Amino acid sequence: MYACLCMVSILMCSRNPEFAIKSEPVKDDNEDEEPVVIQKIDKGVSINDALTSGKFWLISLILFNGLFFGLYMASVFKFAAQGTITDDKYLTLAGAVGSVCNGSSRVIWASL
């Protein structure tokens, strides 16, 4: 199942045109020849610039808040609910349904 989700996500990926290879014709003094095309590659930002940018820390905060508490509850759901619900089969079924909904909703949210 995980391999199928990975293949779907790979097919949904696209290149960011902002970081594409830019080709520009260079004119020579000799007008009889065709212009030479030189490709410039944009290398992006350095690691130091990325770590000091506000966007990096905002994305890190969003990831922490969005993932940490959900993963924590997914790992301790049985322990948290054992005081009120005594049926182990029901807790296991609820955890499994919750995990399937969590995994499928990620695909849906990613496509938006």
How many domains is the chain partitioned into structurally? 1
According to the model, what pLDDT value does residue 52 have? 87
**Residues ≥6 apart with Cβ < 8 Å to 94:** 77, 81
User: What average pLDDT does this structure show over 8-27?
Assistant: 59
**Residues ≥6 apart with Cβ < 8 Å to 70:** 102
According to the model, what pLDDT value does residue 86 have? 84
For residue 68, the SS3 value is helix
**Residue 35 belongs to what domain range?**
2-111
What confidence tens digit (pLDDT) does each residue in 39-92 have?
555 566 778 888 888 888 998 898 888 888 878 887 888 888 888 888 889 988
